[in-house]
A and B are shown apart, each in its own frame.
Chain A
Amino acid sequence: MTSPMFRPAWSMARARLGGLIAVACAVFGGAAMITVGAVLAETALTSHLPPDRLADADIVVSGRQQYPVVEDLDIALSERVTVPADVESRIAKVPGVAEVAADLTFPVRIADSGQRIDAHGWDVAASSDPDLTGSAPRGSDEIALDDQTATATGLRLGDSTTLSVYGKAHTFRVTGVVDAPGDGIFFDSDTATSLAGRSDGAVDLFAVTVQQGVRVDSVAKDISAALDDDLVVSMGAARGDVETIAAGTARGELIALAGSLAGTLLILIGCIVGGAMSVSVASQRRDLALLRAVGATPRQVRRLIATQASIVAVAALIPGIAVGYVAANVFAGQLTTGGLLPAGLPVAVTPFAGLAVAALMLLAVQISARTAALRASRMSATEAVAESRVEPRTPSRVRTVIGLVLIVSAVPQSLLPLVWRSEEAFMAAVTGTLTAIIGVALAGPALVRAVTRRAVRHVGSRSSSTTWLALHHSRAYALRTAGSVTVLALAIGLTIAQVATGATFERATADELDAGFTADATITGTIAQADLDALASEPGIDAAVPFASTTVLRTSTFAGDVSTEPHPAFAIGHDPQRVVDPSVVAGDLADLHGDTVALSSAASGSWDADVGDTVELTLANGVTVDPVVVAVYDRGLGFGAAMLSADVLTLHGDQRWFDQALVTGDAGTVAAWADDLPAVHAASAAPTPSDDEAALERTINLFVLLPMLGYILLAVANSLAASTARRRHELAALRVIGMTPRQILAMVRRETAVVAALSIGAGLLVAVLPMSVLGLGFLGRPWPQGPWWLVPAIAGLVGAIALGTTSLSARRAIRSSPAAVLAAQD
């Protein structure tokens, strides 16, 4: 910023404030949105839950909660990866280690109240030397409680209570109440190990205390060296993530979310800031040309524009980033409520995100400013002033052809859902929409010319002069018109596609679950297999089958590329065919017991595994299994890519509780049984994907879609307003030869109507068609799913914004006397 350029930069800017305000708004909006992404990414990367229960352990050794993926982000495992018990002796041998305590956590159910509480071994709590009333638990019938749990359950020192551990009931006496961090029930270690029912007595983690005077980090390093690579040694803030693995899962999802937003956002912001800069430079074209005429070099002119832009950008960045921080916190709050983020995970509030965003946006602004000024700075003074206001070029043929090809190629992509019902088909439909929009952007000018030429011919000389003029203008300024049309069509198309895809997916999944639900009742609550066995043995009950939703990872090779993907899956008990009908097309669900799995037809196809084959999968706790495929079913959306037999999970070390079960039989008996088990509910409807999940998806979509939409519409409004304002001279000339203000406004309105009609038409075409095919393929309904008012609302919004901005801008443009405008030769 050399000072000779500063003053002219400022005074020129003051005169064309409108254009620069638009740049400021573009920077403000873009900075806010990127800051949200940056803060979330920073939170994902650096934020830790503070350790609670493990706060007194110096070092924690645990399993690696990530599934390593070649050339991509590791996938976070959503269930605890266990550590073999023999690791304890190896840790104990490391010099500097004072104590090693094994930690085990598993849920138990209080028989009376049905409350589900986490139980732990006593060792870790003991090592923190807590405030203990009574004595530590010893033997297989004693427990200790922490004081919060004591209050919550109403149990006091000396009380006896019956606990159900995976369905087996045991009675225990409360021998101690302790004021330890973390809450739960404490068994003595051996009891905990036997009750947890893990194979090989594997534990969750080891809590290590270090000898007095020895440095924690050096001991940690030694422990790392002494153990295998697949164990993680944590200290300091990282211990919190070991204690609560949900943070790790959240991390992965946050990064994925931030990443998927980043690409689209950056391109969008780049385009919009660039567009605003172009408009601003164009309005100063004459002044720049005069500067050149009096001796400014092109470089100096570009620097001047860049200076203007930077001043504006800095002014807009500060509030933008501030708003971004606030919005990030709000968004994080929503994510926490929705369950994506663990409660208590602090949102990273450091200047880093803000500085990164500031640097990025300033760079973007500088580049776009210099690019926008490139042409203007190179033109000679006379060229700039005399520059014809008509586009001399016809739209490039190459561009048009490429555009049309893209539009055509979008068709098979959109038709995919008709032949292949799977998640890939969803992706294809959305990709099809995007491809079509890019095609419209490229072929736009030619299409606009073709459409308006036909319209002009039909309109002829009998229609009103304003309509006639409006159509002629649209045709002559096809490039300019097509620009606005494309952006508006993009806004419409994206919105419809986004909403319709989500709604179709939700609906299809729900429909499949509904259709596949052949049971009479759904039971929710903390249930063990043993409980259900009891129910099944009652008269009038045909089958009681537990199930849990989980994830499986599948590594596949495709054209030399190895990729690992998580897939939603169910674990389901014996004889599932008595309670669900996932539309089996091969094999028999009755065979689903032992080390077996049933696959959806989409999964079976893409993993090349048919009935009788084995398929290698990784469970949510990191264990790799090799079950045999016994059936293939069609309803892959509702029932997931795979249905594992619950035996697969227990075979590999896990006792479990189930959250849901399906029962076929007399509803009354079920209700009675459920009443006996507190905190267990029976309902006669099909299980739905949790409302929370659906709400979370919708919240994320809204948070992402609305700002983008607003941003796009604002940019278009600015562009339309600016291009109308630039026509002051043209409009003044028309007024001189006899066009009344009313006629002028009517003409502008009609031109805008042409733009609005074309863009709404294009937007609907590129979105409504693929989305209708999606609806037809997945739901048998040939129209875009989602709220019925979406399409008219978005069309109306676009039309209203376009008309509003151009009308206001035109009114301003004709406010001054035409003579003055013409005299100014603007």
Chain B
Amino acid sequence: MTLTQPLQTTGPGLTGPALSLQDVTKSYPGGVIALDHMSLQVPRGSFLAVMGPSGSGKSTLLHCASGLDQPTSGTVLLGDTEVTRLSETKRTILRRGRIGFIFQAYNLVPSLTVEHNITLPLRLAGASVDRSWLKALIERIGLTDLLTRLPGELSGGQQQRAAIARSLAARPDVVFADEPTGALDLETATEVLTLLRDLVDEFGQTVVMVTHDPAAAAWAHETVVMRNGGIHRHFVRPTADELTACMRQLRTRA
């Protein structure tokens, strides 16, 4: 059985950007400004890559956009919902229902099976699981045979795919990926990126990916290159070479 319905069915207003940052600033005591009046719109069903040299603020952007952190000023909107003014608990509730996460280190719970890991966010929300839909998702991602294994028994690629399944289980508005291929070899990385791109193209999932790897960023629809807390350049469907050149330019400039 294949997935025919769009992945994302929750959230009001299926029109409008999936994610919107308006004039977001994040500063730390001591005078460090990680994000400097940043504005960004992520259209629904798109694959956005965020690149930049270290210190450019890309991780901070991810944290603020996903509600993991609160910006010093500005607004973050997830669909129609304002994230910035919510309490920690409300943001957590938001995360488990409407945001998915993928990490470089996978961060699966080591003592739970793959199946339990995938359904964990739903369990935490107390939400019921659409068994048939989940089965189809797992089949699409290719994890059906691995459901009863522990994360420690899986390869890096398999763990990351399990993490992707987990991030999609609640049918989120946006999936945030923080260097998802950082720990994977070239072949496995390609598998994972292909999967992410497929999820976007076939099923309308919105994905925001932070990466330092131009080759990975080339899989996205659009790429934003950050520098010093702001957007330096905005590419549409760039090639890996274009991105590499841009990054090199930034390094020599700095």
Residues in chain A within 8 A of chain B (CB atoms): 388-390, 392, 461, 464-465, 468-469, 472-473, 475-477, 730, 733-743, 817-819, 822-823, 825
Contacting pair B63 A819 (CB below 8 A): yes
Contacting pair A730 B109 (CB below 8 A): yes
Cβ contacts under 8 Å, B161 to chain A: none
- Contacts of B121-170 to chain A: CB distance below 8 A: 121, 123-126, 150, 152, 166
Contact of B89 among A388, A476, A742, A819 (CB under 8 A): A742
Interface residue B96 (Cβ < 8 Å from any Cβ of A): yes
Contacting pair B93 A390 (CB below 8 A): no
- Interface size of B by CB at 8 A reads 29
Complexed CA–CA distance, A386 and B108 (Å): 14
Contact of A738 among B96, B103, B112, B116 (CB under 8 A): B96
Contacting pair B152 A465 (CB below 8 A): no
Complexed CA–CA distance, A472 and B112 (Å): 7
Cβ contacts under 8 Å, A738 to chain B: 92-93, 95-97, 121, 124-125
Cβ contacts under 8 Å, B82 to chain A: none
Ordered nearest first, which 3 A-B pairs have the shortest CB separation?
A: A738-B96, A476-B111, A733-B107
Q: What does the 1/0 interface line of B52-75 toward A look like (CB < 8 Å)?
A: 000000010001000011000000
Interface residue B120 (Cβ < 8 Å from any Cβ of A): yes
Contacting pair A390 B150 (CB below 8 A): yes
Contacting pair B124 A389 (CB below 8 A): no
Interface residue B47 (Cβ < 8 Å from any Cβ of A): no
Contacting pair B105 A465 (CB below 8 A): no
Complexed CA–CA distance, A469 and B59 (Å): 30
**In the complex, what's the smallest C-beta–C-beta distance from B186 to chain A, in angstroms?**
20
Complexed CA–CA distance, A477 and B93 (Å): 28
Complexed CA–CA distance, A464 and B123 (Å): 8
Cβ contacts under 8 Å, A390 to chain B: 110-111, 150, 152
Contacting pair B89 A823 (CB below 8 A): no
Interface residue B219 (Cβ < 8 Å from any Cβ of A): no
A-B contact pairs, 16 of them (CB 8 A): A389-B110, A465-B123, A465-B126, A472-B112, A733-B107, A736-B68, A737-B121, A737-B124, A737-B166, A738-B124, A739-B124, A741-B88, A819-B59, A819-B63, A819-B68, A822-B103
Contacting pair B123 A736 (CB below 8 A): no
Cβ contacts under 8 Å, B89 to chain A: 740-742
Contacting pair B126 A823 (CB below 8 A): no
Complexed CA–CA distance, A473 and B123 (Å): 15
Contact of B92 among A388, A465, A740, A825 (CB under 8 A): A740
- Give the most central of B68, B101, B125: most A CB within 10 Å: B68
Contact of B105 among A461, A735, A818, A825 (CB under 8 A): A825
Contacting pair A734 B125 (CB below 8 A): no
Contacting pair A818 B96 (CB below 8 A): no
Q: What does the 1/0 interface line of B21-65 toward A look like (CB < 8 Å)?
A: 000000000000000000000000000000000000001000100
Complexed CA–CA distance, A464 and B126 (Å): 8
Cβ contacts under 8 Å, B93 to chain A: 738, 740
Cβ contacts under 8 Å, A825 to chain B: 105
Complexed CA–CA distance, A740 and B92 (Å): 6
Complexed CA–CA distance, A253 and B248 (Å): 84
In the complex, what residue of chain B is closest to A739 when comparing beta carbons? B124
Complexed CA–CA distance, A741 and B87 (Å): 11
Cβ contacts under 8 Å, B120 to chain A: 465, 469, 737
**In the complex, what's the smallest C-beta–C-beta distance from B67 to chain A, in angstroms?**
10
In the complex, what residue of chain B is closest to A391 when comparing beta carbons? B111
Cβ contacts under 8 Å, B105 to chain A: 822, 825
9 additional contacts, CB 8 Å, given A737-B95, A738-B121, A740-B92? A390-B110, A461-B123, A465-B123, A465-B126, A736-B107, A739-B96, A740-B93, A741-B92, A817-B68
Contact of B109 among A392, A734, A741, A818 (CB under 8 A): A734
Complexed CA–CA distance, A82 and B63 (Å): 91
Contact of A818 among B68, B97, B150 (CB under 8 A): B68
Contacting pair B126 A388 (CB below 8 A): no
**In the complex, what's the smallest C-beta–C-beta distance from A817 to chain B, in angstroms?**
6
Cβ contacts under 8 Å, B116 to chain A: 472
Contacting pair B92 A739 (CB below 8 A): yes
Complexed CA–CA distance, A27 and B121 (Å): 44
In the complex, what residue of chain B is closest to A742 when comparing beta carbons? B89
Cβ contacts under 8 Å, A819 to chain B: 59, 63, 68-69
Contact of A477 among B111, B112, B150 (CB under 8 A): B111
In the complex, what residue of chain B is closest to A468 when comparing beta carbons? B123
Complexed CA–CA distance, A733 and B120 (Å): 12
Contacting pair A472 B111 (CB below 8 A): yes
**In the complex, what's the smallest C-beta–C-beta distance from A392 to chain B, in angstroms?**
7
In the complex, what residue of chain A is closest to B123 when comparing beta carbons? A465
**In the complex, what's the smallest C-beta–C-beta distance from A676 to chain B, in angstroms?**
84
Complexed CA–CA distance, A476 and B88 (Å): 29
- Contacts of B3-37 to chain A: CB distance below 8 A: none
Complexed CA–CA distance, A734 and B92 (Å): 10
Contacting pair A817 B69 (CB below 8 A): yes
Cβ contacts under 8 Å, A822 to chain B: 103, 105, 107
Contacting pair A465 B111 (CB below 8 A): no
Cβ contacts under 8 Å, A392 to chain B: 152
Cβ contacts under 8 Å, A818 to chain B: 68
In the complex, what residue of chain B is closest to A732 when comparing beta carbons? B107
Complexed CA–CA distance, A822 and B120 (Å): 19
Contacting pair A473 B111 (CB below 8 A): yes
Contacting pair A743 B107 (CB below 8 A): no
**In the complex, what's the smallest C-beta–C-beta distance from B10 to chain A, in angstroms?**
14
Cβ contacts under 8 Å, A468 to chain B: 123
Contacting pair B109 A733 (CB below 8 A): yes
Complexed CA–CA distance, A465 and B96 (Å): 13
Complexed CA–CA distance, A390 and B63 (Å): 28
Cβ contacts under 8 Å, A388 to chain B: 110, 152
Cβ contacts under 8 Å, A741 to chain B: 88-89, 92
- Contacts of B71-88 to chain A: CB distance below 8 A: 88
Complexed CA–CA distance, A461 and B128 (Å): 10
**In the complex, what's the smallest C-beta–C-beta distance from B145 to chain A, in angstroms?**
21
Complexed CA–CA distance, A465 and B126 (Å): 7
**In the complex, what's the smallest C-beta–C-beta distance from A71 to chain B, in angstroms?**
55
**In the complex, what's the smallest C-beta–C-beta distance from A755 to chain B, in angstroms?**
15
Cβ contacts under 8 Å, B124 to chain A: 465, 737-740, 743
Complexed CA–CA distance, A371 and B13 (Å): 62
Complexed CA–CA distance, A392 and B110 (Å): 11
Cβ contacts under 8 Å, B69 to chain A: 817, 819
- Give the most central of A464, A733, A738, A817: most B CB within 10 Å: A738
In the complex, what residue of chain B is closest to A389 when comparing beta carbons? B110
Complexed CA–CA distance, A389 and B108 (Å): 11
Cβ contacts under 8 Å, B166 to chain A: 737
Complexed CA–CA distance, A389 and B63 (Å): 26
**In the complex, what's the smallest C-beta–C-beta distance from A20 to chain B, in angstroms?**
28
